[in-house]
């Protein structure tokens, strides 16, 4: 589709070599295919120690002109966005590039009419309705920084994120559909805003037609505002290094951090990675099942496909409503050609059997993708055989919120694949495996810490409001490298296999949580004195959450207490973070210096207590017996 879509393995090898030998020249060529108001003075300036990374220095542009305006001449009547409702009986919505352009301009004018301007931070807390996609692009149109908060997070989590970014506006909806449930979204916003004085305006999109509380002078209905909004809105000129968005993600310590991505580099990398990994052709329909509240939704539901002029599909519902055939029904209905989902969805659908898959025609499928967590071989084969009919290349794409786009993956049908291997780095990506002394591992099949030794355009620039935290989290463990937090191996052919996180981050159904963050939430329960959380292998979710909890007095009713703790976590973080197992204990295995030995807790949670290692250094070794006996 673009001049830079790699078509053969030899081309890949050549592009890779060129990208390492002359990174600036390599990326300048690709960037040259975009619309810039002014070209860059320098392609790249970087220093991983500070860290300070700048791409396309001095260039001016607006990303939405590249997503929309640029296509109007040649693709104006082509579908840009297809939206499918939660309810299969409700009519779908389709926008051509021209229509989407108009919708985005109108929303942008509504933002402006309500006082938003370049540089403002705007929190978007909306379900998967077309207005969510439109709102994100509308922010980018006027140069406001979007901070999308997944609509499953609690009021407390939203408030933290709004305060951290000092947002002046919230874009939301009256409510949302999720399978058979309807959830009052605006009520959550109202609760969050009790502690967010910076928010001056709330724009509410009608989805359910519910009567909601509207605060005089603060809250307005989108459908009332849009009546007065012009259908043209000039795109704000942005510097390549201006912030495009903030997206919060969990690390091993403290509260979630606001990962910052900037306009120019993110644009170039999201389009380049999209086009090369998925190999879309002009008439293809691409469906990424992720919510726009996560990075996968940002880069591969929205920006990547639109930058590429591809038709992208957005789905409001869940894979199992009204039944476990819903995904395949949608593929059939719209003739989806490229399908990108998470292993956890595959595993849950696998459990429902093959009949659902067989009920629909999946003939349109050409490429399958996986993201978010390691895909186990069983799920890989099920996906490849039953969904892809052994004819669709399956790309296992490894990347992170911080990387902006896919880093290690095969290119569909172009480079080799191997089950459970993310395979090769994309051109421009220079991964290394380090040992615990920070030395590069050159041997095959040895596990190491996965790091990057050279910048790429889509990489994180800072953590919002706290640059030192960015340095400490990613650039201080191994001097001169970006540290991913993952462990990986490389085989003799150079294919990477991602093992998983090596820090205190757990990955539950493809969602990232810090164990400390969940412990902090649990400790808010009035019966809890202290807690420790670890991940354990879970058949569907990848990892489950196992909490060890010390109470201030022996609970009278353990089930009741567990339910209360789950409720506390749902309130503090969101239902997506609730522990799967809660074991009440009288103490935790601590060293004499007070450090919890998580290694032991992990073993207990995994159900592998045969060899707990040396427990002699513990303050109270007897506690281990109690914990093992009470394991769930
Ligand atoms: C994990 C999601 C194995 C990994 C795009 C990473 C994966 C974290 C894969 C980032 C994969 C993501 N194979 N592990 N294909 N993709 N991960 O920020 O541990 O939500 O560090 O970004 O998910 O999660 P995040």
pLDDT digits (tens, 9 = 90+) for 269-323: 999 999 999 999 999 999 999 999 999 999 999 999 999 999 999 999 999 999 9
Mean pLDDT of the chain: 96
Cα of 400 from ligand 1 centre, angstroms: 5
Are 609 and 631 a contacting pair, CB within 8 Å? yes
Closest CA to 585 of 537, 538, 625: 625
Note the Cα 631 to chain centre separation in Å.
33
Cα of 449 from ligand 1 centre, angstroms: 14
> In DSSP terms, which residues pair with 590 in a beta bridge?
596
In this structure, the number of other CB atoms found within 10 A of the CB of residue 507 comes to 20
Is residue 412 very low, low, confident or very high in pLDDT (cuts 50, 70, 90)?
A: very high
The finding on whether 102 has its CB within 6 A of some atom of ligand 1 is no
Instruction: Judge whether residue 506 has pLDDT over 80.
Output: yes
Are 140 and 101 a contacting pair, CB within 8 Å? no
Q: What is the pLDDT of residues 23-62, one digit of tens each?
A: 999 999 999 999 999 999 999 999 999 999 999 999 999 9
Cα of 492 from ligand 1 centre, angstroms: 23
Place of tokens 């017996």: 625
Q: Average pLDDT of 251-262? A: 93
Q: Average pLDDT of 553-567? A: 94
Instruction: Judge whether residue 560 has pLDDT over 50.
Output: yes
The finding on whether 372 has its CB within 6 A of some atom of ligand 1 is yes
Cα separation of 423 and 61, whole Å?
A: 34
Instruction: Judge whether residue 223 has pLDDT over 60.
Output: yes
The finding on whether 299 has its CB within 6 A of some atom of ligand 1 is no
* CA gyration radius, the chain: 24
How high is the ipTM of this complex? 1.00
For the CA of 375, the nearest atom of ligand 1: 13
**The tokens of 154 are what?**
């609690």
Q: What is the pLDDT of residues 537-559, one digit of tens each?
A: 999 999 999 999 999 998 899 99
**CATH 3.30.300.30 domain position(s) in the chain:** 509-629
Cα of 405 from ligand 1 centre, angstroms: 11
Cα of 192 from ligand 1 centre, angstroms: 29
Q: What is the pLDDT of residues 96-137, one digit of tens each?
A: 999 999 999 999 999 999 999 999 999 999 999 999 999 999
Is residue 2 very low, low, confident or very high in pLDDT (cuts 50, 70, 90)?
A: low
Cα of 206 from ligand 1 centre, angstroms: 34
Cα of 399 from ligand 1 centre, angstroms: 5
CA distances, 43 to each of 25, 54, 292, 426, 475 (Å): 8, 8, 30, 19, 22
For the CA of 249, the nearest atom of ligand 1: 18
The finding on whether 273 has its CB within 6 A of some atom of ligand 1 is no
Alpha carbon nearest to ligand 1 atom 24, residue:
400
Cα of 7 from ligand 1 centre, angstroms: 26
Alpha carbon nearest to ligand 1 atom 7, residue:
373
pLDDT at residue 320 in the model:
95
The finding on whether 291 has its CB within 6 A of some atom of ligand 1 is no
CA atoms within 13 A on the CB side of 15: 24
Place of tokens 């400790």: 523
Tell me what percent of the residues of the chain surpass a pLDDT of 70.
100
Q: Which fold has domain 509-629?
A: GMP Synthetase; Chain A, domain 3 (3.30.300)
Cα of 394 from ligand 1 centre, angstroms: 16
Tell me what percent of the residues of the chain surpass a pLDDT of 90.
95
Q: Average pLDDT of 563-578? A: 96
End-to-end CA distance of the chain: 53
Are 583 and 627 a contacting pair, CB within 8 Å? yes
Note the Cα 262 to chain centre separation in Å.
16
Cα separation of 168 and 516, whole Å?
A: 29
The finding on whether 543 has its CB within 6 A of some atom of ligand 1 is no
Closest CA to 372 of 302, 457, 300, 311: 300
Q: Average pLDDT of 216-239? A: 98
- Domain 63-70+97-236, CATH among 3.40.50.980, 3.90.1170.50, 3.50.50.60, 3.40.50.880: 3.40.50.980
The finding on whether 27 has its CB within 6 A of some atom of ligand 1 is no
The finding on whether 397 has its CB within 6 A of some atom of ligand 1 is yes
> At residue 521, what are phi and psi to the nearest 5 degrees?
-65, -45
Place of tokens 């050159």: 442
For the CA of 501, the nearest atom of ligand 1: 19
Are 428 and 23 a contacting pair, CB within 8 Å? yes
Alpha carbon nearest to ligand 1 atom 25, residue:
400
Q: Average pLDDT of 522-534? A: 96
Q: What is the pLDDT of residues 351-399, one digit of tens each?
A: 899 999 999 999 999 999 999 999 999 999 999 999 999 999 999 999 9
Q: For the whole model, what pTM was predicted?
A: 0.97
Are 598 and 504 a contacting pair, CB within 8 Å? yes
Cα separation of 83 and 285, whole Å?
A: 12
HEC per residue, 422-464: CECECCCCCEEEECCCCCECCCCCCCEEEEECCCCCCCCCEEC
3-state helix, strand, coil in the chain (%, to 5): 35, 25, 40
Alpha carbon nearest to ligand 1 atom 14, residue:
373
**CATH 3.40.50.980 domain position(s) in the chain:** 63-70+97-236
Q: Average pLDDT of 144-155? A: 97
Cα separation of 632 and 630, whole Å?
A: 6
> At residue 360, what are phi and psi to the nearest 5 degrees?
-130, 160
For 54-58, 155-159, 365-369, 617-621, which range has the lowest pLDDT when averaged over its residues?
617-621
The finding on whether 501 has its CB within 6 A of some atom of ligand 1 is yes
Cα of 248 from ligand 1 centre, angstroms: 15
> In DSSP terms, which residues pair with 257 in a beta bridge?
249
Strands (E), 232-336: 238-239, 243-249, 257-262, 285-288, 311-315
Helix (H, G, I), strand (E, B) or coil at 537: strand
Is residue 1 very low, low, confident or very high in pLDDT (cuts 50, 70, 90)?
A: very low
Helix (H, G, I), strand (E, B) or coil at 574: strand
**The tokens of 150 are what?**
């997944």
Cα of 159 from ligand 1 centre, angstroms: 26
Task: Among 299, 371, 399, name the best residue to mutate to test ligand 1's pocket (greatest count of ligand atoms within 8 A of Cβ).
Answer: 399
For the CA of 402, the nearest atom of ligand 1: 18
């Amino acid at each position: 589709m673009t001049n830079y879509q790699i078509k053969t393995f030899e081309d890949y090898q050549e592009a890779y070599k060129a990208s390492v030998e002359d990174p600036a020249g390599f990326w300048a060529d690709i960037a040259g295919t975009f619309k810039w108001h002014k070209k860059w003075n320098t392609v790249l300036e970087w220093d991983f120690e500070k860290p300070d990374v700048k791409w396309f220095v001095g260039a001016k542009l607006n990303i939405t002109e590249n997503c929309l305006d640029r296509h109007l001449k040649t693709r104006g009547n082509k579908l840009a966005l297809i939206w499918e409702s939660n309810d299969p009986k409700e009519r779908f919505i389709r926008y051509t590039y021209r229509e989407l352009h108009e919708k985005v301009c109108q929303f942008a004018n509504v933002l402006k009419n309500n006082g938003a301007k370049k540089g403002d931070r705007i929190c978007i807390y909306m379900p998967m309705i077309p207005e969510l996609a439109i709102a994100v692009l509308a922010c980018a149109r006027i140069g406001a920084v979007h901070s999308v908060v997944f609509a499953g997070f609690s009021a407390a989590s939203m408030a933290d994120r709004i305060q951290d970014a000092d947002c002046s506006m919230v874009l939301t909806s009256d409510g949302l559909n999720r399978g058979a449930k309807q959830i009052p979204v605006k009520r959550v916003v109202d609760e969050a805003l009790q502690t967010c004085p910076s928010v001056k305006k709330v724009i509410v999109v009608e989805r359910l037609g519910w009567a909601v509380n509207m605060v005089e002078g603060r809250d307005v209905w989108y459908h009332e505002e849009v009546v007065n909004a012009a259908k043209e809105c000039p795109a704000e000129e942005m510097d390549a290094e201006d912030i495009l968005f903030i997206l919060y993600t969990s690390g091993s310590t403290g509260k979630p951090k606001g990962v910052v991505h900037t306009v120019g580099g993110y644009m170039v990398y999201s389009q380049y990675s999209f086009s090369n990994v998925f190999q879309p052709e002009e008439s293809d329909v691409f469906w990424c099942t992720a919510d726009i509240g996560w990075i996968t939704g940002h880069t591969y539901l929205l920006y990547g496909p639109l930058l590429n002029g591809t038709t992208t599909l957005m789905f409001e519902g869940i894979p199992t409503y009204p039944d476990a055939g819903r995904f395949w029904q949608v593929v059939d209905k719209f003739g989806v050609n490229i399908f990108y989902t998470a292993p956890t969805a595959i595993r849950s659908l696998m459990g429902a059997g093959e009949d659902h898959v067989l009920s629909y025609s999946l003939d349109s499928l050409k490429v399958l993708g996986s993201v978010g967590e390691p895909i186990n071989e069983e799920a890989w084969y099920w996906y490849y055989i039953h969904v892809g009919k052994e004819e669709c290349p399956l790309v296992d794409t490894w990347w992170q919120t911080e990387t902006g786009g896919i880093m290690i993956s095969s290119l569909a049908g172009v480079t080799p694949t191997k089950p459970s291997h993310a395979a090769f780095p994309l051109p421009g990506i220079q991964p290394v495996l380090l040992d615990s002394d920070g030395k590069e591992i050159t041997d095959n099949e040895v596990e190491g810490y996965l790091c990057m030794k050279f910048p790429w355009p889509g990489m994180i620039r800072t953590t919002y409001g706290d640059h030192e935290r960015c340095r400490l989290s990613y650039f201080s463990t191994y001097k001169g490298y970006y540290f991913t937090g993952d462990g990986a191996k490389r085989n003799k052919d150079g294919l990477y296999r991602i093992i998983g996180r090596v820090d205190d981050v757990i990955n539950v159904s493809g969602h990232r949580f810090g164990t400390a963050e969940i412990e902090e939430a649990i400790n808010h329960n009035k019966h809890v004195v202290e807690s420790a959380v670890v991940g354990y292998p879970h058949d569907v979710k990848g990892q489950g959450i196992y909490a060890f909890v010390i109470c201030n007095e022996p609970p009278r009713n353990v089930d009741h207490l567990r339910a209360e703790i789950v409720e506390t976590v749902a309130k503090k973080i969101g239902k997506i973070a609730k522990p799967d197992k809660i074991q009440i204990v009288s103490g935790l295995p601590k060293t004499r210096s007070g450090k919890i030995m998580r290694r032991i807790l992990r073993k207990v949670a995994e159900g592998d207590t045969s060899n707990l290692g040396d427990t002699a250094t513990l303050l109270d070794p007897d506690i281990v017996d109690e914990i093992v006996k009470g394991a769930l």
